[in-house]
Structure 1
Amino acid sequence: MDQLAALRALRRVVELGSFTAAAEALGLSHTAVSRQIKQLEAHLGAQLLNRTTRRFALTDAGKQYYEASRQILDALDDADRAVTAQQARPSGTLRINAPMAFGTLELAAWLSAFMAQYPELTVDLVCNDRIVDLIEDSFDVALRLTRGLPDSTLIARRLADSPLLLAASPAYLKQHGAPRTPAELARHNCLVYTQAQHPRIWTFRSPGGGEESVNVQGNLQANTSVALRAAALAGLGIISAASFIVHEDVQRGALTALLPDYPQRPRELYARYPQSRHQSPKVRAFIDFATAHYRGRGWA
């Protein structure tokens, strides 16, 4: 008896729910699969399956043996994949989800370098500011800017800190004045990013090391920072945004940075991907490239 083949047959029968489906998946006949299970039972001296004409069920001994054998088979598959994956070149289509502003202003700046390194890979980049279900929407990896992650079965790799900048246009400041403390933001028109965890609560670190939170108000809220940046440039109000979104506007004088002595706690950039014992080469390559890109790097 080939015990390993019998273990694989048992697993297929249990997972697929029938001898016929297991036989088809293994490329064997129904009789061959049935014979392997019977030989395994004879070898163990225990019945693993209770059979009827229409269905089967694992016996208590079968349940115990199935769980133990499944772990053994997983370990063997992991060992095979680990060796094979080291030799495999990333290929196929890599589906990436990213926030609109990050995808268009930041990720786009280095994605071409990643693709040049892996020419056999095709990238499908989808940018939006809603939280997607990676598995249901068939994404391989998502990039997230957040403060803390919810409990999830997804794997999360922290890549970098993303500082926030508070800014407004010179025209707005000329008309309304510049806030000198966070508390003064309460009387200003603040542009609110609705995808933040607490959109209207802006929190600052004071020079003394404490924190100060302000409940802000404004006449524009949006689920994309791209729209808020355009509004800030047009003089509508004050924006709190990731520095990669507005730092070039600040450098060229289109926006003025505010409250430099009261920094906001940065968001964190994460790469998230479905949990799997067999991480595909394309996902691993992207995560490794992003990690190397942001290692020790801050944003302006």
Structure 2
Amino acid sequence: MEDRFAGIREFVLAIDKGSLTAAAAQLGLTGSAVGKSISRLEARLGVQLLHRTTRKIDLTNEGEAYLVSCRRIMEELDQTESFLATGHREPIGRLRIDLPTTFGRRHIVPPLLDLAARHPRLDLSFSLRDQAVDMVSEGIDMAVRIGTLGDYPELIARRLGEQHMVICAAPSYLARKGTPATHTDLFQHDCLAGWRRTVKPTWLLKDASGVIAPHEVPARHELPDGDALLYACLSGCGLAQFPRWLAGDALRSGALVQVLSDISGGSMPIHVLWQKTWHLQPKVRVAVDMLVDLAQANPNVFDAR
């Protein structure tokens, strides 16, 4: 009977170590034996997983997709063996987490690193980006998302809170340029916005009928992330629309002043998501539980009302 797992360990280890020789050294085999094992795996699958040269190996497109599944299988096996050996569900293995850039850097990365410090066998890999990703194909175990979620039957979501938007300016800017009173006034002001490659700068504003929707604004400066936008606003460069979790400290200290509160607004849900599996791995469970507790303990960050 054909062994469906034959060659998988050699394949993953060759990628992790960067060569067949290094993988062979760890496994106590010859480089030729590791190469033949991977070749038999490729023959069984009917696809090429690796590009081999005399100096290095590279993944094919099929190899990249297969590697994600292989890693997940091996990590699930490690989790199960640890549970059987220790009698408790200790979080072990690598947890791959995708986060919104500024929110993740400020509010999610630090507590997750603290969590990992309490669990020595838990390793973390972070990616920070503001675009939605395919969690399954990229092997992401857990993600935090701000905004309305699509229909993803392969994922589970837990609501953490909301992001509420405010328009702010530094007192020095308002003293120099005046305080806007209407949406039309914005066209006489210096507006700051996040930079997007293909989308014109917009803010969430309430129209005459009370509906909140994106409205184009004349952006003098476009900046790459929330921290850069906050710095520019604090420096008196113009008006900016921020989530309250980003502007809150500056508003409370008086470093920023809220304006246009009657037309500014809009809220977006904040969720933690993870892949739907037959059982929830301890590494995912402990991280999700930590984020739920974090949201409840930090209403200023998660805008709990």
TM-score (norm 1): 0.63
Equivalent position of 2:243 in the other structure? 242
Deviation at 1:282, TM superposition (A): 0.5
3-state secondary structure, aligned to 2:273: strand
Equivalent position of 1:272 in the other structure? 273
Deviation at 1:101, TM superposition (A): 0.8
Equivalent position of 2:210 in the other structure? 210
**Matched residues in 1 for 2:195 and 2:274: separation?**
24
Give yes or no for contact 1:143–1:270 (8 Å, CA) kept in 2.
yes
Deviation at 1:195, TM superposition (A): 6.2
Query: Is residue 2:133 matched to residue 1:132?
Result: yes
**Matched residues in 1 for 2:222 and 2:157: separation?**
29
**Matched residues in 2 for 1:95 and 1:285: separation?**
13
**Matched residues in 2 for 1:271 and 1:196: separation?**
27
The change in CA–CA distance for 1:242 and 1:199 in structure 2 (over 3 A counts) is farther
**Matched residues in 2 for 1:94 and 1:120: separation?**
11
Give yes or no for contact 1:182–1:212 (8 Å, CA) kept in 2.
no
| Unaligned stretches of 5+ residues in structure 2 | 8-43, 45-79
Deviation at 1:296, TM superposition (A): 7.6
The change in CA–CA distance for 1:183 and 1:150 in structure 2 (over 3 A counts) is farther
The change in CA–CA distance for 1:197 and 1:243 in structure 2 (over 3 A counts) is farther
Matched AA of 2:89: A
3-state secondary structure, aligned to 1:236: coil
The percent of aligned pairs where both chains have the same amino acid is: 26
Q: CA RMSD in A?
A: 3.4
Give yes or no for contact 2:169–2:257 (8 Å, CA) kept in 1.
yes
**Matched residues in 2 for 1:23 and 1:246: separation?**
52
Deviations 1:157-188 (A, max 9, x none): 21111222211122221222111234432432
Give yes or no for contact 1:121–1:282 (8 Å, CA) kept in 2.
yes
Equivalent position of 1:159 in the other structure? 160
Equivalent position of 1:191 in the other structure? 192
Equivalent position of 1:230 in the other structure? 231
Deviation at 1:274, TM superposition (A): 2.3
Query: How many positions carry a matched residue from both structures?
Result: 225
Give yes or no for contact 2:212–2:266 (8 Å, CA) kept in 1.
no
Give yes or no for contact 2:191–2:217 (8 Å, CA) kept in 1.
yes
From the CA coordinates, give the structure whose radius of gyration is larger: 1
Deviations 1:114-166 (A, max 9, x none): 334434322222323333332343322111111x1123233222111122221
Equivalent position of 2:2 in the other structure? 20
